[in-house]
Structures are given as C-alpha cells and as structure tokens.
C-alpha cells in the first residue's frame, strides 16, 4: 500500500454573492491529489491562514493516519480547538480520505463501513429567494416540488431575534401556511430558525404551527446553538421534533447535547467536524435513538461528503441541498456534479470523491477581496430584511 506521504498543499476559494467555498488540495510524493472543501462562515481568510500556521501537522505526514491528524490539530498545540481549527482539520481530513480511497480504487464510503443504500433522500434549501410575501413563497415552493423534491426547508422569520413582534409573528405563520397549502400533502416541510429565538418564543411558534394542522419534520436550531439547555426545554414541550448540530464542532459539544437530550435529529456538518469524526459520533447518536440529517451548504465536495456519509450511516434521515436554487454556478467547480433526481441523489461508485476540480473556473470566480484579505459576504440575517434573497447572480 502506498505511503501517501503529503508533499504539498494549495487552497482555492470560489466566491458567490453570499458564501465563499474553500477548497484544499493535498498532493502526495507520488503525485496523487486529494480534495477537501468547506463553506466557512465569516472566517475564510482566518482558516486559510491557520492552514499555513499548522502545515506541520500534515505536510510530510501520511494521509492514512487520520486519527493522528486529529490529535495533532486538537491536542499538540496545547490549545482549545474552535470552529476555525476544526474546519481546517476537516479540510485536510476530507482530502486525506479522498487520497486513501483513490489509492485503494474505492469510493470514500467504503472507508466508512460500506454501502447501506443506493439512493440518498434530499431536501431543497435556498429556493425562497423571492419577496417575503405568501404568494411569492407559495409559487417558489411549487417549483421545488415540480423539480421532484419531496422535502423543502425555509426560514420565514425575517430578521427575527429573540422575539417577534405580533405583526411579524403573524406574517411568519402566513408564509408557512402559504407554502403548506401550495405543495402536495406528501411533501415534507422543514422549518429553519437559524438560532434566532429565546426558548419561550420558539416554543410559541412551534405550538402555533402545530395548532394550524401543519406537521413539519422539524424545527431547526430554535435558539442559540450553544444554548443546549434551551433546546432541551423546547424539545421536552414541543410536538414538533427539534433538529440542531450544524454549529457544534467537537465531541465535547455533542456530549452535552446527548446528556441534556437536546434534539431528535442531529445535523452534523462533515466540513466543519470531519467525515471520519462524524462517523464515530453517529455511532453514539444511534445509541441515543437520534437520526442524522447532515448539514450541507457547500459545493460539489461538501455535497459528495454528505452523500458518502449518508451512504454508510445507519440512522440517516435526509441530506440538505442548495445548489439547484442558490448559486447554480458552483456546480461548475468540478468535472461532474451529483444531481438530485426525483428528490434523491444516486450513490456514486467512483474512486475517492469521484471528481476533479475545475481550477480555471474557480479562479475565474474569486471571492471579494480587500487588499489581501478575503471578504465573507454572509447574510446578515439578524439585521437585513431581505437576507433570504441571497443577492443571486443573474
């Protein structure tokens, strides 16, 4: 078996109006390449600079030794790892998995335990880039179902923060009702709250939605992501399941989640937790009867990482997908993209992630810069009325 000793690395950033997608390419001494990807929220420049600071953790090391890689990123620096460090680790780990699988001529999911399913159920996000009015939301939702999706997610709560005014509370419910009435009865609605609310407000919304006869698959991140006690309070009283986890970065964060019985659905993001690390955590989630719905707001590698993780994951529920509606151009970042057909991804069988990056395209679509600093546009969803429109490229 090849040693897969890492010789060099390079980073590339694909820009969009509201998100940057960061790619890491590792090259081994034999000339084999592996790719990782992450959408870094507001910290693209920081993560890339951190990779420079920590290249001693992976340059000259073997891509086979993923457990040692995690130890170096989380222990050897005698520091407490946060979102930037774990995202940097995840980029390297994903590229290592790509290298390992390519060297063995197998898909990545074969390194995670093998194939449990041939198709991966997906839900649509990013589709409601329209005026925040019921008629507009309803029309956009109809298109999603015509495209074959059997589930969709949206945040109808404007720039809500802790509490909504009565007018905004009622408008949000009107938007939910409009979407519910516009789509087939067997289409699953998922309600995104983006960590907006105080627990009492999130619970009031959940109860109001349930009393309207609407049965969402979940309410997502109803209060601040680290307020796991607040999530546990909502879960204990809500008739709608609770989902969270996309902004938890370490096993310790999840330890508290399990101890407090905080959620029904775990939304681990392999691009800021690690694919291998996520697979280990999923085993614990299963012992607590939690289902897994990987968070995926990235491009081709992020989507493939979610697919491969879901392929080998026993308690899998559903996988998020943006790129049919928001920034479709990100699909061109590689020579192939896994498309959703009738609401499902087909599980690929190509070695590694199964794609080659289109570096010319990525370089032709750079992020916004200020001198040498990469800027992160973000959404500003607590201040901006029309954040959900995502300033789409035409």
Length of the chain: 394
Report the SS3 class of residue 19.
coil
The secondary structure of residue 389, as a DSSP letter, is G
Strand segments, DSSP code E, in 110-235 are 119-124, 151-154, 188-192, 219-220
**Dihedral pair phi/psi, residue 8, rounded to 5°:** -155, 170
Q: Could you say which of 194, 231, 321, 388 is catalytic?
A: 194
Which one, of 193, 200, 262, 259, lies nearest residue 226 by Cα?
262
* Nearest-angstrom CA–CA distance, 302 and 24: 12
Do residues 294 and 320 make contact, with C-beta atoms less than 8 angstroms apart?
A: yes
CA dihedral (132, 133, 135, 141) positive or negative: positive
The secondary structure of residue 368, as a DSSP letter, is P
Q: Could you say which of 12, 57, 295, 388 is catalytic?
A: 295
Q: How many CB atoms lie within 10 A of CB 179?
A: 24
Q: Verify whether residue 194 is a known catalytic residue.
A: yes
* Nearest-angstrom CA–CA distance, 92 and 108: 14
- In the numeric block, which tokens belong to residue 285? 């989630």
- In the numeric block, which tokens belong to residue 277? 């690390």
Q: Report, as residue numbers or ranges, the catalytic residues.
A: 194, 295
């Amino acid at each position: 078996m090849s040693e897969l000793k890492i010789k060099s690395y390079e980073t590339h950033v694909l820009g969009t109006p509201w998100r940057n997608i960061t790619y890491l390419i590792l090259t081994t001494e034999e000339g084999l390449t592996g790719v990782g990807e992450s959408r870094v929220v507001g910290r693209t420049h920081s993560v890339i600079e951190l990779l420079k600071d920590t290249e001693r953790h992976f340059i000259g090391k073997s891509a086979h030794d993923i457990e040692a890689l995690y130890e170096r990123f989380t222990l050897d620096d005698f520091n407490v790892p946060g979102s930037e460090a774990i995202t940097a680790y995840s980029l390297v780990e994903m590229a290592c998995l790509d290298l390992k699988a390519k060297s063995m001529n197998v898909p990545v999911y074969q390194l995670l335990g093998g194939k449990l399913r041939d198709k991966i159920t997906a839900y649509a996000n990013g589709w409601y880039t329209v005026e925040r009015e019921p008629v507009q939301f309803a029309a956009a939702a109809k298109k999603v179902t015509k495209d074959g999706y059997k589930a969709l997610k949206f945040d109808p709560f404007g720039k809500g923060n802790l509490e909504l005014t009565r007018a905004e509370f009622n408008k949000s419910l009107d938007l939910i009702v409009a979407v519910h009435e516009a789509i087939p009865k067997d289409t699953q609605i998922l309600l995104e709250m983006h960590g907006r609310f105080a627990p009492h407000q999130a619970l009031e919304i959940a109860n109001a939605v349930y009393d309207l006869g609407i049965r969402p698959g979940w309410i997502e991140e109803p209060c601040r992501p680290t307020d796991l006690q607040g999530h546990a309070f909502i879960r204990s009283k809500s008739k709608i399941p609770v989902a969270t986890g996309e902004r938890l970065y370490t096993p310790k964060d999840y330890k508290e989640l399990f101890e407090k019985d905080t959620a029904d659905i775990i939304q681990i993001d392999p691009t800021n937790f690690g694919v291998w690390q996520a697979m280990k955590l999923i085993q614990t989630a299963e012992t607590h009867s939690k289902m897994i719905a990987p968070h995926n707001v990235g491009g081709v590698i992020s989507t493939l990482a979610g697919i491969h993780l879901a392929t080998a994951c026993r308690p899998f529920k559903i996988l998020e997908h943006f790129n049919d509606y928001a920034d479709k151009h990100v699909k061109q970042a590689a020579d192939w993209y896994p498309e959703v057909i009738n609401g499902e991804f087909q599980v690929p069988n190509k070695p590694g992630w199964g794609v080659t990056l289109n570096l010319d395209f990525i370089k032709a679509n750079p992020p916004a810069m200020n001198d040498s600093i990469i800027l992160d546009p973000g959404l500003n969803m607590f201040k901006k009325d029309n954040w959900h429109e995502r300033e789409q490229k035409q």
